[in-house]
Amino acid sequence: MTSEHRDDPPNLVGSDAWAREVLADSEHDTGLGLAVARDAQRVVAGEMTEEEFRRRHHGAYLEAFGVDARPSLDDGLAPPDPERSRAEASPADRGPRDIAEPPRPQDTDAGDDGGPGEPATVPRRAVLGAVGGAAIGALFFGEMFRRNASAGEPPAQGDAASARGDGTARAAGGGVAPPGKQLPVQFGMVIDLERCDGCLDCVQACSDENGLSEGVLWPYVLSYQEPQDVDPRFLVRMCQHCTKAPCVMVCPTGARHRRLADGLVLTDYDVCIGCRYCQVACPYGANVFQWSHPAVYGGSFQGDGRDSRGVKVAGDPPMGVMGKCTFCPIRQEDPERRGTASCVDACAMGALHIGDLNDPESAPNRYLAQRREEAGGNLPTFRLLEGLGTEPNIIYIGQPPSAQAELIDGPFDYEDWDLTEDRRAVLEGPEPWFRRLAREG
Amino acid sequence: MATTQRPSVDETGDSALTATILRPLGRPSWRWMATLAAAAVGLAWFAQAWVFQLRYGLIVTNLADWGYVGGIPWGFYVGSFIWWVGIAHGGIIVSAAVRLFGMDTFAPVARIAELLTLAGLANAGLYIVIHLGRPDRVVSSILPNLPQTIQTSPLAWDVVVITLYFVLTATYLTLTLRHDLHRLAGRLPRAFTPLYRLLLAGHRPGEQAKAERMAWWLALGLIVLAPFFLHGGVIPWLFALLPGQPGWFGPVQGPQFLAAALASALGAVTLLAYVLRRVYRWEELIDDRVFRGLSRWVGLFALLFLWLQLQKVVTGSAMAPLSIETAVDAVVATPLYWVALAMLAVTVAHVGVQMLAPQRFSVGRTVAVAVLPLVAILIEKTLFVVEGLMYPVFDLYEGVPGSYTPSWVELSSLVGALSIMVLFFLVAVKVVPLIELKEAES
Ligand code: SF4
Ligand code: SF4
């Protein structure tokens, strides 16, 4: 990467290009958005009933997006049945499941959604877009938008809404679980450190799939040595998708959240303000910030990055936004690819296993059971820094590093994979004008 | 406030002291202009640095990720944020204490402390915004989610508390200002008449007693809330409630932050009072006893701060859990930490000497020594943030401990924030009486 390249970022704050990018990102209908905003204000002021508000904009939604999936129009604004959601949420009710079956949230959603399978991606996104556009002009009425947008959630996800208030149009807009809550489905990993040979295949695959900027390593393989050992040991560190995630608790915007459907800890890239509190609060050091324009620093993520809720959570984050290992959240919603992840697929040693930790039949649990059997019931396992109470969802097979462990050079080099291990070496901003002046003259 | 000579009251009922208080409100002097120009240059320098940061991102700072390259994600910006909030919180505590506990000696500097609080809070808010990767989203992302985030996020608490204190302080200041503005009607610069009208909206001649009572209750509220919602509470909790940084942990953080806030705020008030006294020849309004008193309080809080540091160092380096011991050992091994403590120790020692030999009092020296805690606490707070992050519980990573020195962009923010403070006072001094009229009338 050359320095002129860096001097000339593709989009600049305050410039037209920047504004276009922001607008293009939200893909909204600004006109409709503003109309909704105006009427939202009327509702707040008591000049219009919510019923009327919905009726008025139904046509416009249909015209703009082809469908208005807000359930209020079809089911007479029936509130979610709390009894029912609770029953469905109870793990005891669930029988063994195969990891290849369709995503569970849709099982529970289907009845209320009117149709099985497909999550309501398009209308959800569209509603979000319109509301997002309106928010530019009418931030003050955020509360109202929140209510409006969460009305578009399938009622089965009302559990989240009740737990976190009404939710916002974006991160908290339904499908969000509070930190610490035990969920029926909790994705996690089993990582067999006794199998890991430190080859960095997982790091490489993740970087490719997510188009990560140079030096951004979501999974990170630490090679270390214990005083009594000759051979190196490895620790594959990635986000632990903690149940009681401190990063979620401290986030001042709700951008960092737990997805209700599977307990994944994700960042809403459209909401994050880049305060880095999550990074500071995470005891594992799993967060990696986007310090500059990703495109200038080798970021190549092309996808849309939105999950079925319409929340932008996947891939290399935009400038100024926090990133970290996501456990491939779009894959986990896809019946074909659920229970896979780029790193898991890439590991030739079969050391990584991802799936629902609450399901005894999931890949990680089956692997664990098999390894336990092989080891005669005497298999050492641990969760990283378990004593801190974060309830991490990665179960490691092997021994945790001791206090005497020393970091060493591993058998494989990040550079061999075209990866940069020392991101600080590439975290170099452009030259300021006064230095250039001094140099030139 | 007592002065050596009480000037006579003239026919209009105004004392000569009132005229003295109004002295700065006239035409700006060349010195005022020059200071304004200097502050404007400072602000412009900061502005271009910030634009540079907005354009290219926080890459222009020396911050980095801590997870595997030993970077520090929070640094000088957060340290400065704590510093400014401390100055602001301390300022309002000083002013509230004057009213509540009848500390009349400090009455002449009460309004200066209130104004300091407003500007300090503004700077603290500015630092939050400068620190962000996406300042463009600050309103749209924080406000709508506040009902949820307020439940668990200390940063959300901070945002709310800073806003709350800004509103309380502004109300408090307005309450006490109205009386003065009313009394001085006709003698204030015409140019700002609309502002005075606004501040005096709905003013009734008999409202003074009521306003006094309201101000008293506000002062009580501010003092009572201080240990919980100011530097004794939410600000240290921003750090002490996290699981991964033993250097930030500990019940001592609250009292320690509060002591630091008061020492630095009193230092700042001392400095401002001194500058204003020199420039406007306010010797009779702000007499030496104000400085003697202020320096004693600065010394007391500096001592308290040192004592709490001692607690931290002794308990942390004896038989503490390994992670705490590592963090404390690291702090102890940092020369800059000792420089900061030494500065505070000089302040304490100076107060001691002055008490033993009161005849050798010098205002200039007193002020110089009172400024030391101001500098020391900025250093200590930045170190607190940085070292806390350098010695996490999980310290296996390469580059842990990492390294960090603020970049030119980060340091430029200090120039900017100081310029804002200077500009604020340059304007304030021309618009409102900086000393309560009551002082002159009493
Ligand atoms: S590992 Fe860190 S980033 Fe991941 S969920 Fe836990 S606290 Fe959050
Ligand atoms: S950086 Fe983003 S995700 Fe992390 S705490 Fe701040 S707003 Fe939340």
ipTM: 0.91
**Listed range (A41-50, A175-184, B300-309) with the worst mean pLDDT:** A41-50
Residue of A nearest to B51 (CA): A13
Partner residues linked to A164 by β-bridges: A166
- Taken in order A198, A203, A205, A208, is the CA torsion positive or negative? negative
CA distances from A98 to A95, A302, A306, B9 (A): 10, 31, 25, 94
Per-residue pLDDT at A68 exceeds 70? no
Neighbours of A86 (CB within 10 A): 10
| pLDDT at res. B437 | 80
Q: For A286-304, what is the mean pLDDT?
A: 91
Contacts B137 to A, Cβ<8 Å: 253, 271-273
Work out the burial of residue A22: count CB atoms within 10 Å of its CB; fewer than 13 is exposed, 13-18 middle, 19 or more buried: middle
Mean pLDDT (whole number) for A313-317: 95
CB contact under 8 A, B69 and A319: no
CB A292, CB B59: distance < 8 Å = yes
Would the pLDDT of A91 be above 60?
no
How many CB atoms are located within 10 Å of the residue A16 CB? 9
Note the pLDDT tens digit of each residue in A251-261: 999 999 999 99
Chain A partners of B392 at a C-beta cutoff of 8 Å? 283, 285
Closest Cα in chain B, distance from residue A209 (Å): 21
Report whether A257 contacts A386 (CB < 8 A): no
- A74 has pLDDT over 60: no
Residue B350 pLDDT: 93
Closest CA to B21 of B115, B111, B120, B98: B111
Q: In the predicted model, what is the mean pLDDT of residues B307-322?
A: 87
Q: Kindly indicate the confidence band of residue A61, based on its pLDDT and cuts at 50, 70 and 90.
A: very low
Reported as a single tens digit per residue, the pLDDT across A5-35 is 333 333 333 333 433 343 344 434 444 444 4
CA distance B6 to B15: 9
CB contact under 8 A, B137 and A319: no
Does the pLDDT at position A158 exceed 70? no
Looking at the complex, report in whole angstroms how far the Cα of residue B389 sits from the nearest Cα belonging to chain A.
7
Residue nearest to atom 3 of ligand 2 (CA): A256
Amino acid code (one letter) for B167: V
The mean per-residue pLDDT over the stretch A264-280 comes to 96
The pLDDT value given to residue B401:
63
Across the interface, do B144 and A424 touch by the CB < 8 Å criterion?
Answer: no
Instruction: Calculate how far, in angstroms, residue B360's C-alpha sits from the geometric centre of ligand 1.
Output: 59
User: If you search the block for the tokens 């997002």, which residue do you land on?
Assistant: A132
What pLDDT was estimated at residue B398?
Answer: 59
Residue with CA nearest ligand 2 atom 5: A251
Among the partner residues B65, B71, B141, nearest to A253 by beta-carbon distance: B141
Number of other CB atoms surrounding residue A136 within 10 Å: 16
Q: Residue B319 has what pLDDT?
A: 80
What pLDDT shows up at residue A70? 34
- Nearest-Cα distance to chain B for A258, in Å, is 14
Whether the predicted pLDDT of A63 surpasses 70: no
Q: What is the rounded average pLDDT for all residues in chain B?
A: 88
Smallest Cα distance from A145 to chain B, Å: 9
- List, chain by chain if needed, residues with CB within 6 Å of any ligand 1 atom: A 239-242, 245-247, 265, 282, 284, 286-287, 324, 390
Q: How confident is the model at residue A348 (pLDDT cuts 50, 70, 90)?
A: very high
Q: Ligand 1, residue A287: give the atom nearest the CA.
A: 3
Most A CBs within 10 A among B60, B145, B385, hence the mutation to make, goes to B145
pLDDT attached to residue B85 = 92
Ligand 2: residues with CB < 6 A are A 250-253, 255-256, 267, 272-278, 322
Q: Which residue has the higher pLDDT, B268 or B1?
A: B268
Task: Map residue B78 onto helix, strand or coil.
Answer: helix
The DSSP 8-state label assigned to residue A309 in this structure reads T
Band the pLDDT of A98: cuts 50, 70, 90. Answer: very low
- Check whether A140 has a pLDDT greater than 50: no
* Buried b / exposed e along A156-185 (16+ C-beta atoms within 10 A): bbbbbbeebbbbbbbbbbbbbbbbbbebbb
CA–CA gap between residue A168 and residue B152 (Å, rounded): 17
